[in-house]
Amino acid sequence: MRKISLTARLTIIFVLIMAAACGGITLTLYGALRHELIWRDDRTLINRALQLRQLLQDGAKPEMLPLYFSRMVDTQQDILLIRQAAGPDVTINQTGIGLAALTAENQPGVLRRQRTKEGEELTILSLQGESNGGAVTLTVARLARERAKMLEQYRQESLLVCLAALMLGAILSPLLIRRGLRAIGALSKITAATHADRLSDSVPLNTLPRELLPLGEALNVMRSRLAHDFTRLTRFADDLAHELRTPVNVMLSQNQVALGQERTPEAYQQLLEGNIEELENLSRLTDNILFLARADHHNVALRKEVFSLPDTLENITDFLEPLAEEKGLRFALEAEGDIQADKMLFQRALVNLITNAVRHAPENTLVRIKTEATGEAVDIAVGNKGEPLAETEKLFERFWRGDEARNSVGSGLGLALVKAIAELHGGYAWYQHREGENLFGIRLGGETPARQGRAGEQA
């Protein structure tokens, strides 16, 4: 089913609002006009009755009052009835209304309204007076014929004006709405024209109306993020190609040289061992890249358990002891308490942190490992002597290696893996330089701060 266009929706809403407004205004004005006409008719009726009673009191004969009455009123809708205690009734009635309607429930001095058989509204007023010393009852009445005609004409004209206004609004509103929506069309064209090489070009906000400014700002934020992510993806692809090209070229060159002439079985065996070593490096690199990709999409199932920090860290340092002894390094471990985490991933992160410290620590120095609990969070820091690092904002980026580490062993994914594992546990990775030491660490659990210090890898 095809959906109604935005222009049609806005037109319908606008016409409905106009209809409600026109109806409300018309009803309000109609009510005000009706009440005003009724008030005027009532005042006229009262004034006439008072004038006629005054004429009687001044000595006018009842038989003469119809003459005055005919001059001051419309006899087609006004009625006069004078009842004398000692004389005949005097009437003027050309409306066809029976006199019984005028005398029923007569309440002198009170306006009384009633409906005739034809449905017309009749207003009656009776006053007591005197004429030549005798009591008389003066009754005047008015049919609302002229008032009804005027109100009917007003209703018809109001209806015609409202219909004309609604038709005009229904015709003009789509044109005006389309004109107003041109900015959305322009914004759509700009968005559709977005290419990878133009992500840095922002949407011009000065040409947008105020209502579309939030959308334009959101598009600029989105384009900026896409540009950043595209740059990272491009750099990641370049770095990945570089990391894969080197071992592949090495194996290719070695195999080509080996096949250039006859070799001894021992030489072929040595070549195969070298190939296996390079393939193992490629396999580890591939596994790390796949893990990082899954971590980015939170597609890693954590198997959390509670385990002892001192025991786990002691096992890791025992495992890395031979690597540290090559440089005369010693481990200083300060750990206490338990932690709840995925033990395998935790060990993987700590192995990377400690290995990183061992690689870059000066010979015959100390590598310190310290844990500290802060509320529900646990900080694990690994420190080694060294100068402050440059470009600390890149420390945990993939494939990034500092200038001092470019000639060392490693692919530049170690600290990126640490960061990913920390974030999977609801924490973050951090770097500090304190008292001549480079401290790398992770915080697991607790609340992640709004602004984390980005760190990357030394190696």
Exposure class string for 379-388: b at 16+ Cβ within 10 A, else e = bbbbbbbbee
Bridge partners of residue 91, in order along the sequence: 81
Q: What confidence score (pLDDT) does residue 453 get?
A: 41
pTM, 2 dp: 0.52
pLDDT tens digits along 237-274 = 776 676 677 778 878 888 888 888 888 888 888 888 88
pLDDT surpassing 90 at residue 164: yes
| Average pLDDT for 425-429 | 89
Give the CA diameter of the chain: 160
Structural domain boundaries in the chain: 6-150, 212-296, 304-444
Regarding predicted confidence, which is higher, 182 or 325?
Answer: 325
Query: Cβ distance 178 to 7 under 8 Å?
Result: yes
Q: Point out the least confidently predicted range of 50-59, 83-92, 94-103.
A: 94-103
CA angle 88, 91, 94 (to 5 degrees): 150
pLDDT at residue 447, rounded to an integer: 54
pLDDT class for 413, splitting at 50, 70, 90?
Answer: confident
Q: How far apart are CA 353 and CA 456, in angstroms?
A: 11
Reduced to 3 states, what is the DSSP secondary structure of residue 453? coil
Q: Helix, strand or coil for residue 210?
A: helix
Give me the CATH code for the 212-296 domain, please.
Answer: 1.10.287
pLDDT at residue 74 tops 50: yes
Least confident stretch, 41-55, 155-169, 316-330, 397-411: 397-411
Per residue in 268-321, pLDDT (tens digit) is 888 888 888 888 878 877 777 777 777 777 778 888 889 999 999 999 999 999
Q: Per-residue pLDDT averaged across 83-102, rounded?
A: 76
Average pLDDT of the residues in 157-161: 93
Among the four given CATH numbers 3.40.50, 3.30.450, 3.40.720, 1.10.10, the one describing domain 6-150:
3.30.450
Q: Does pLDDT of 145 surpass 90? A: no
* pLDDT at residue 406, as a whole number: 43
Instruction: Find the helix or strand (DSSP H, E) in which 4 lies.
Output: none
CB 383 within 8 A of CB 436: no
pLDDT band at 367 (very low <50, low <70, confident <90, very high): very high
What CATH number belongs to 304-444?
Answer: 3.30.565.10
Kindly write down the DSSP assignment for every residue of 329-395, as one continuous string: -EEEEE--SEEEEEHHHHHHHHHHHHHHHHHHSPTT-EEEEEEEEETTEEEEEEEEE-PPPS-GGGB
pLDDT band at 380 (very low <50, low <70, confident <90, very high): very high
Check whether 160 has a pLDDT greater than 90: yes
Give the pLDDT mean for 414-440. Answer: 88
Residues 87, 134: Cα–Cα separation, whole Å: 10
Is the pLDDT reported for residue 40 higher than 80?
Answer: yes
What pLDDT is stored for residue 156 in this prediction? 93
pLDDT confidence of 449, banded at 50, 70, 90?
Answer: very low
For the segment 125-131, the average pLDDT, to the nearest whole number, is 84
Contact 89, 81 (CB under 8 A): yes
Q: Pick the residue with more confidence: 391 or 456?
A: 391
On average, the pLDDT of the chain sits at 82
